[in-house]
Amino acid sequence: MPIFITFEGIEGCGKTTQLARLAEKLRARGRQVLTTREPGGCPIADAIRKILLDPGNSDLAPRAELLLYAAARAQHVEEVVKPALEQGVLVLCDRFTDATLAYQGFGRGLDRNLIAELNDLAAGGLTPDLTLLLDMPVEHGLNRALGRNARSNLEQEGRFEAESLAFHQRVREGYLAICQNLPRYARIDALGSIEVVEERIDAAVTDFLKRRA
């Protein structure tokens, strides 16, 4: 049975680290797992990612931004996600359609009904089976993200970290609002050591897989 799990959360919430750990754990338990991310996950979508995250593109119009995320997603779903699911591989994706609702909808203020329709088009109707929302106060996440970028000179990753605290607050509140309305969501308290958060995620995923079986 195809299983598609997505990770969501604000900047610096730890989802990329946790996704890699979960993948290792599931592989050790005998599952075939593909890890991928959005925007990106294949060469064409990675090229779009560069445009989207380049701090030099600070004048990118919100509607152009929205359409670029959608274009990257359409390519990624077609080329990577759907073929893997069709082969019975469990797919773990770092961000997906809910990120567009949270960032471009709640963060930028674009029409959320329109985004939902565009998400559906871009994802070819695909929805995650489980979404893990790694939730933490915005200040914690942003401090972590900015520190990480400074340490590794990740200038390409900077366009969203440069947004105001209020923007990120809207994104967090957006995620919490989306999460409340969707049964496929598990909200994970992302404050705590990597190991503690990992255990919380493991419990949520194990519970989901049991219900699924």
Footprint of ligand TMP on 106-165 (CB under 6 A): 160
Q: Is 95 in the site for ligand TMP (CB under 6 A)?
A: yes
Select the residue interacting with ligand TMP from 4, 38, 135, 178 (CB under 6 A).
38
16 or 209: CB nearest ligand TMP: 16
Segment lying near ligand TMP (by CB under 6 A), choices 96-104, 174-182, 186-194, 196-204: 96-104
Q: Is 94 in the site for ligand TMP (CB under 6 A)?
A: yes
What is d(CA 107, CA 207) in angstroms, rounded to the nearest whole number?
32
Q: Is 39 in the site for ligand TMP (CB under 6 A)?
A: yes
Q: Is 8 in the site for ligand TMP (CB under 6 A)?
A: no
Any bridge partners for residue 186, and if so which? Answer: 132
What is the phi/psi pair of residue 187, to 5°?
Answer: -85, 125
CB of 94 to ligand TMP, least distance (A): 6
Nearest of 92, 104, 93, 102 to residue 180 by alpha carbon: 102
209: buried, middle or exposed (CB in 10 Å: 19+, 13-18, 0-12)?
A: middle
Q: Is 41 in the site for ligand TMP (CB under 6 A)?
A: no
Residues at the site binding ligand TMP, with contacts judged by CB under 6 A: 11, 38-39, 53, 69, 94-95, 99-100, 103-104, 160
